[in-house]
Structure 1
Amino acid sequence: MSTKSDVSSPPARHTAWQRLCVSDFDRLYPLLTTYIQQPSLAESVTELVMDFSSRERSWPNDYPPDEPEESSLGVTGDLVREHVRSLGLGDRETKGMLHALRLWVNRQETPANWQPGDSESSEPHYLHDEFAGFAAVVLLSLCKNLSTLHIAPPMSGFSPMLEDYFLKTNYGMLQEPGLQNLTKVQVLPGMWWGEETVYGQLEFLRLFQYFHRLPAINTISIDSLQEYQSHYTTFIPRTGNMKTLKLDHVDMDNSFLTLLISVPKVLVELKVSLGGKEHIDGGNPMIYPQSIGRALAQHKETISALDLDLDLCVSEFVCKDKVRDDSNDEISDEDSDIEEFGRDYYKIDQESRLAVEKISTAAESYGWTIGSLHDFTSLTQLSIGVYTLLGPPDSRGERLARQPPFRLIDALPPKLESFCLYGYKKGENLDIDEHVNEFMINREARFPSLNEVRGIEEEVPSVAQLFPEVSFLDRMSSGIDEEEENSHYWKTPEFPEEWKPVE
């Protein structure tokens, strides 16, 4: 989704904006110069949307070579240059930013009839990518009271300048680090090459590494994105300050999901739904409920709200495989993944991580399920897929493939106040009916605080039911029209009404 059709950047006038959307470069540079001259205006910004995802070109691969000594860039240009130098970034990063600034200030005007694909001599469109990274760093360094960041990663990744700034700010390597009041990061819903029915791509673990140590960070929210041939596969568990993770309509395999769950030091709220769009290569990820349960067990004393809609990926076929317990794996100092993570960053996280409890519960106590949640002493809000909790159905769907090693009523947390069971339909599966009936008969006596139950008397469909898997080949050969085709996929939400275009 591009925010350009919904919101636009404000003009550079003396207004103390609270919300900004950055996608119009021609209006962005005057805004930066205004903020540098009047810092109090930048300090009024609390919510920011950065969407450079629609650019035609990819980010530059490296910083430029050495350049001759710079001449004046004009009064405002010189002010911006001094601000860049004051950030305390390394020589390489500062040189890259000043290069982008000089190119942008001295650029030619864009011809009114320029189109993507025109020759570079008619439009310096290659500057846009370099300027985007430069401008993002300057803006983030100025908006000291920013609390919410909405960000759309370009398909080819973030600018090296912006990535360096994120990492050095996150790890406290700058004299005056930014983002100290940032509480929420929301990654804008993605798509693949303009195809709304296909997930966008995201380096989930790299994104976490940009923000997880920030002092005020509380929430990371991601929608409509997939893990696809990820370059970054390593993370140090129990190092993140965020307490809420929301992963809506995503596509990732078992190891990635368990690793993400392990990142927070203290997890209070988790929402995960798998499915809703089409993977580039088709098919669904493989999820072992048992592994998810073991990862969650690290947070059994703190998590208060749990919303898991994983049933699209829970099947008898997958659960029959032997599950390797990789939730507590240690990374060797010789591991090549550390080089990608960054050895300096890796060392800082290793020294500050919380201890990871070794989960010794036998696999038999989980069966093919997420396991009992009875020991989750803070859990009051629970929404969960019926197969994730009780195990997958057999091939006919009329019985459970294997009985869970617990009764439903014994597996629920004792302080439960709200309970929703995704994907249950009375009369479809005799085994599940027995569990549910037993719960309903005894619910008042066993759960005195439970005041809301959904998904039993009335069906609450899971993602698997709302958006059943349709392979790419089947879709292409079916001959259905575009409107019907799009009805099979999750519609990404629009921005809220309060985000109005600035005239």
Structure 2
Amino acid sequence: MALRTLPLEIHARTIFQVSSIRDLSAISQTSRAMHSLCDMKNRERFHRICIDEARIDSTFNLLMEILKQRSLGKYVRKIEHRHRRPYQVPAYTETKEQRSLSEDEMDLLRNAVQKAGFSGTQESAVINMLMQKDAKGRDDELGDFNNRMRLRIYPSVIMGTYITQALTAMLISVSPNLEALTMTQPFETYESYNYDPEENPRESLTDFPIDRLLRRANTDPASVPYLQNLRKVYIIVDEVIMGGDDRSYVGIEFFDCIKLVDNLPSIESIGTDALIEDENDVATLLPKSSNISRVYLNHCALMTPYLAYIIQSCKILKEFQYTIGGRDVLGGHFCPLNPKTFIKAIAPHKDTLEVLDIDADGNIHQLSSYHNGDYVKADKSFDDVFDPYLDEEDNHQAKQERFVKSFLDNSGCLKDFHALKKLSIGVGSLLYFARGVGADYESGEPVKLVDRLPENLEYLCIRGYKRGESKMWDEQIDDLMSFWKEGTSNIKEIVGVEEEIPNAKDLEDIDNQEHLMWVLGEDTHVL
């Protein structure tokens, strides 16, 4: 009743702060006045916009509606670009326009493109992209036939890349309240053997509208009116690999994707699935360079230094999630997690990390020595943090090694993570984490898990524990459960003790394990 007595201006401001479409729908049903203010018919149409090759014309119509009535752009909270990433795509060639707009509509479109930051040849190219209704029938318009066959790509794919990117970039620019962005890698991958990022910075390469828009905004957020409220980014990893198997993990230039958004003022999280480190990717991330505080890397196969780059790049880290499994690793490549290096990498975030979810014990074979309580042997086996199959003279690996050595003096144990509230982890990693790494902890003497639990821990999920497999594990878990039942801690829930939660594993026999595959779906959204 109190809410109804407030002025309509207060109602409008309250509604503006509500991002959930379900909550808005519920509010709209409380009264006729609220129903009118919520404008649910338009909110539902514009709340989430998905752009792909099949929706080019309908998406353009939404864009024009916003340009004619700018207030509609305030309803957009989620944008999803689902066209595959650029792959050996030739520079855009302007083609015959397929749309017919009035002079006033062309002025609206041109002004919007300019306000989005495109000028000169970029402005002309983006307008030409927007003036295409579809990506079909372009065989004679995008380069000679022999070149297309050499690249093994179809003109419609090339054209679709540019058109959908232009639509997405423009919608981002006219959606001031955008909170969540889902997209594929918006720039082309350049193999390391013919691409030197120092000699040829990304800015000098082929123009792609999303890439240009995000790079411009991330470099100087205060200079643009858009992307001020973007909080969540999800990077779609391609489902189709050129010359490969779409059931495997896929490498993209994820670090460069991070660099497109990590300086935005409201950015909080970035996530992806099915990622493996691209052997051609030579990019790195600078320590404490990112505003991102929540990272979600699920169903991935990544080396520990790769994870460390991401962790160390965060100024503040509140949530970190890394899980393996759900895909096959091409060529039998193995991506083990080194828990010693991982703990040292995440140690600087002891006072801010609230949620940690690690499901990688299936790739840490050394933890099996814990069955006999041999902590010293297990710890020493974690000293080698680099892939032994890599070339020792490789410049990128040398840079990686210097980076890892920069934080190897860090130390810490589970109890030191004072802000940690939710922990999901394999039983082997849990006990190793409880013992800790660094000079203050590496005595080799066993410790009790209950003595090393964070004081603010509320939820604990233990993976891979099965009673009877290890006497030492059973003793530690029995002590834990007795301690929990005393009710003297903040722990509200412990799972994985009464019923085993298996550790995730890479799919090694994909032909017989397709039912276990992780697959991108239409309902896969930003976390």
What's the TM-score, normalizing by structure 1? 0.71
Higher helix share: 2
Say whether residues 1:175 and 2:204 are aligned partners: no
Q: May I ask how many residue pairs the two structures share in their alignment? A: 415
Whether contact under 8 Å (2:221, 2:265) holds in the other structure is no
Say whether residues 1:459 and 2:500 are aligned partners: yes
Q: Secondary structure at the match of 1:211?
A: coil
Offset at residue 246 of structure 1 (A): 1.3
* Structure 2 residue aligned with 1:478: none
**Structure 2: how far apart are the matches of 1:417 and 1:14?**
37
* Structure 1 residue aligned with 2:361: 311
C-alpha change, 1:174 and 1:64, in structure 2 (3 Å) is farther
Identity over aligned pairs, percent: 25
Say whether residues 1:191 and 2:239 are aligned partners: yes
Q: Which moved more, 1:371-380 or 1:439-448?
A: 439-448
Offset at residue 22 of structure 1 (A): 0.9
**Structure 1: how far apart are the matches of 2:461 and 2:131?**
56
Whether contact under 8 Å (2:261, 2:267) holds in the other structure is yes
Offset at residue 248 of structure 1 (A): 1.0
Say whether residues 1:202 and 2:252 are aligned partners: yes
Whether contact under 8 Å (1:245, 1:269) holds in the other structure is yes
* Structure 1 residue aligned with 2:210: 162
1:105 to 131, 150, 161: 131
Q: Which moved more, 1:101-110 or 1:439-448?
A: 101-110
* Structure 2 residue aligned with 1:347: none
* Structure 1 residue aligned with 2:51: 22
Offset at residue 288 of structure 1 (A): 1.0
Q: Spell out, residue by residue over 1:316-336, the C-alpha distance to the aligned partner (whole angstroms, 9 max, x if none).
A: 2996253469xxxxxxxxx99
Q: Spell out, residue by residue over 1:361-408, the C-alpha distance to the aligned partner (whole angstroms, 9 max, x if none).
A: 56xxxxxxxx6210111112111111222359xxxxxxxxx9775332
Say whether residues 1:412 and 2:421 are aligned partners: no
Whether contact under 8 Å (2:134, 2:160) holds in the other structure is no
Q: Secondary structure at the match of 2:81?
A: strand
The aligned amino acid for 2:166 is F
The aligned amino acid for 2:50 is C
* Structure 2 residue aligned with 1:149: 181
Whether contact under 8 Å (2:252, 2:275) holds in the other structure is yes
C-alpha change, 1:97 and 1:406, in structure 2 (3 Å) is farther
Q: Which moved more, 1:191-200 or 1:262-271?
A: 191-200
1:426 to 464, 467, 476: 467
Say whether residues 1:375 and 2:416 are aligned partners: yes
C-alpha change, 1:296 and 1:496, in structure 2 (3 Å) is closer
**Structure 1: how far apart are the matches of 2:175 and 2:492?**
43
Consecutive unaligned residues of structure 2, counting only runs of 5 or more, are 1-41, 149-153, 190-205, 368-377, 387-394, 398-405, 434-442
Offset at residue 154 of structure 1 (A): 6.6
Q: Secondary structure at the match of 2:416?
A: coil
**Structure 2: how far apart are the matches of 1:223 and 1:109?**
28
Whether contact under 8 Å (1:155, 1:201) holds in the other structure is no
**Structure 2: how far apart are the matches of 1:51 and 1:411?**
45
C-alpha change, 1:62 and 1:406, in structure 2 (3 Å) is farther
Say whether residues 1:322 and 2:353 are aligned partners: no
Offset at residue 195 of structure 1 (A): 4.8
* Structure 2 residue aligned with 1:501: none
Q: Spell out, residue by residue over 1:428-449, the C-alpha distance to the aligned partner (whole angstroms, 9 max, x if none).
A: 1222222222323333459521
Offset at residue 273 of structure 1 (A): 0.5
Q: Spell out, residue by residue over 1:120-172, the C-alpha distance to the aligned partner (whole angstroms, 9 max, x if none).
A: 9x987643332233222211111111111122337955963321211111121
Offset at residue 214 of structure 1 (A): 1.1
Offset at residue 492 of structure 1 (A): 4.4
C-alpha change, 1:409 and 1:148, in structure 2 (3 Å) is same
Root-mean-square deviation (CA, aligned residues, Å) is: 4.0
* Structure 1 residue aligned with 2:169: 137
* Structure 2 residue aligned with 1:283: 333
The aligned amino acid for 1:96 is Q
The aligned amino acid for 2:333 is G
C-alpha change, 1:457 and 1:107, in structure 2 (3 Å) is closer
Offset at residue 210 of structure 1 (A): 1.1
Say whether residues 1:47 and 2:49 are aligned partners: no
**Structure 1: how far apart are the matches of 2:76 and 2:134?**
31
Whether contact under 8 Å (1:52, 1:154) holds in the other structure is no
* Structure 2 residue aligned with 1:486: 514
The aligned amino acid for 2:354 is S
The aligned amino acid for 1:449 is N
* Structure 2 residue aligned with 1:222: 272
Q: Which has the higher relative contact order, 1 or 2, with Cα contacts under 8 A spaced 6 or more apart? A: 1
C-alpha change, 1:19 and 1:167, in structure 2 (3 Å) is same
Q: Spell out, residue by residue over 1:53-108, the C-alpha distance to the aligned partner (whole angstroms, 9 max, x if none).
A: 2x8x746454669x9xxxx975233432232223334x5xx513422423663789
Offset at residue 46 of structure 1 (A): 0.8
**Structure 1: how far apart are the matches of 2:44 and 2:454?**
50
Offset at residue 31 of structure 1 (A): 2.8
